[in-house]
């Protein structure tokens, strides 16, 4: 049973009472992320996330962690393109201290100069680490070519150059402008009493602070031909990422797109896994993802393959995309995809953290609460005509983007470039 309170200062509280659960998940969601940055301060959202774990006037870095972990819980945070989130999982008996610790971090982080300089070095090493992981770095390359001159094309961690130049003053200013009650949603899932936590939240967040948030730059694709970026590097495999622009998170065809993703590459029963790994042996790792943003999105296929087999793997991936946009999926395939979605959702919602993340994303990104029954009803209403129509709308030659890291000869590069057709 979801309950929601909107306070006078525009802060939102959402709870889900899950009786009988020992665990409690709590998250403080802030509506800001890498989309709210520019090239100069790229990575500042992620930098700020790191700094919130470094201590407050009342708790140093170690004390913050001990308050949660010393009670058997866990503490974490993440930054995405449109959201920053700080979360804890504890026993429901420790709900008050978890809320107190997370709110202390979010509202009162000290952001000391010496800590910031030390963490700057840590983040630069993190960036280098990801650049050394081709299966990760290839997605950053894909973002660069899919979202050129737009913050969606930046790495969430930023660049070495941008992180090196971000000042304490800039971090504090960014925090003060964005980490305000009107920009926050607090979500708790577990054996929790809404009225009790409502009073605690009111006491902690009673202050009304007006920020100065800047809406993210909207993206409108002007792509008219395939784009390709290949980085030659001494790797054990060639890492491939193929992306095509899709639509935003509230689009009417979002459920058809979800089932299209499940059929193509979400699990071991998918077409990509079955045909490219199992039948042809071209890849060990292969699958698809759907990226959803406010007004835009992407359908992405990723794979790792032997260098000399990369052209064939790409041809086979594109063949699967052509097949699903030209022919209807079978009734059985559609039914299995729908069942996979429903059961995965229902099983995830049994976990307090997964449920909190699901609920928080809706409340923070869409400013509404999800209706599980309504979502399942809409998934069940998707037809094979819908799948084909959505595939035809997304899988187009001019919209193709290919990023790749590996050892490629000129002949293979030209072969790939020639085959970028849907």
Annotated catalytic residues are: 49
How many other β-carbons are positioned within 10 Å of the β-carbon of residue 161? 12
Judge contact between 360 and 187, C-beta under 8 A: yes
Report in angstroms the alpha-carbon separations of 219 from 19, 34, 143, 246, 295: 43, 14, 13, 12, 7
Q: Are 365 and 85 in contact (CB under 8 A)?
A: no
* Residue 36 burial (C-beta neighbours within 10 Å; 0-12, 13-18, 19+): buried
Cβ neighbors of 5 (< 8 A, separation 6 or more) are: 12, 13, 194, 198, 201
CA atoms of 396 and 384, how far apart (whole Å): 19
Q: What is the Cα–Cα distance from 187 to 189, expressed in whole angstroms?
A: 7
β-pair partners for 131: none
The 8-class DSSP code of residue 299 comes to E
Q: Are 5 and 184 within 8 A, CB to CB?
A: no
Pairing of strands 227-232, 184-190: unpaired
The CA-CA-CA angle for residues 240, 241, 245, to 5°, reads 155
* 402: its two tokens: 């290919």
Measured CA to CA, the distance from residue 33 to residue 138 in angstroms comes to 21
């Amino acid at each position: 049973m979801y309950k929601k309170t909107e306070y006078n200062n525009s802060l939102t509280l959402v709870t889900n009472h899950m009786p009988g659960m020992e665990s409690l998940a709590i998250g403080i969601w802030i509506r800001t992320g890498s989309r709210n940055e520019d090239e100069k301060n790229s990575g500042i959202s992620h930098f700020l996330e790191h700094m919130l774990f470094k201590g407050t006037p009342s708790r140093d870095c170690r004390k913050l962690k001990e308050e949660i972990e010393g009670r058997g819980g866990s503490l974490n945070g993440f930054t995405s393109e449109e959201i920053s989130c700080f979360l804890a999982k504890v026993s429901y008996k420790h709900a008050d201290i978890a809320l107190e610790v997370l709110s202390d971090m979010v509202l009162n982080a000290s952001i000391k100069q010496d800590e910031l300089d030390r963490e700057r070095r840590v983040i630069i090493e993190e960036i280098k680490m990801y650049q050394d992981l081709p299966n990760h770095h290839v997605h950053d390359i894909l973002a660069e070519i899919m979202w050129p001159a737009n913050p969606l094309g930046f790495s969430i961690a930023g660049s070495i150059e941008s992180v090196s130049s971000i000042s304490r003053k800039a971090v504090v200013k960014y925090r003060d402008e964005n980490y305000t009650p009107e920009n926050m949603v607090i979500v708790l899932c577990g054996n929790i009493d809404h009225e009790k936590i409502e009073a605690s939240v009111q006491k902690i967040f009673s202050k009304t602070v007006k920020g100065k948030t800047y809406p993210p730059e909207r993206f409108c694709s002007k792509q008219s031909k395939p784009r390709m970026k290949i980085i030659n590097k001494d790797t054990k495999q060639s890492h491939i990422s193929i992306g095509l622009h899709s639509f935003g998170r509230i689009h009417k065809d979002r459920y058809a797109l979800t089932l299209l993703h499940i059929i193509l590459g979400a699990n071991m029963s998918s077409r990509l896994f079955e045909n490219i790994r199992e039948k042809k042996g071209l890849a060990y790792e292969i699958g698809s993802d759907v990226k959803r943003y406010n007004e835009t999105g992407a359908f992405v296929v990723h794979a790792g393959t032997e260098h000399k087999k990369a052209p064939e793997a790409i041809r086979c991936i594109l063949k699967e995309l052509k097949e699903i946009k030209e022919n209807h999926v079978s009734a059985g395939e559609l039914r299995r995809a729908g069942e996979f979605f429903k059961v995965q959702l229902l099983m995830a919602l049994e976990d307090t953290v997964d449920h909190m993340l699901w609920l928080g994303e809706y409340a923070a990104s869409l400013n509404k609460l999800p209706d599980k029954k309504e979502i399942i009803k809409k998934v069940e209403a998707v037809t094979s005509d819908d799948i084909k129509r959505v595939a035809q709308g997304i899988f187009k030659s001019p919209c193709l983007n290919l990023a790749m890291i590996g050892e490629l000869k000129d002949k293979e590069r030209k072969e790939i470039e020639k085959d970028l057709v849907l």
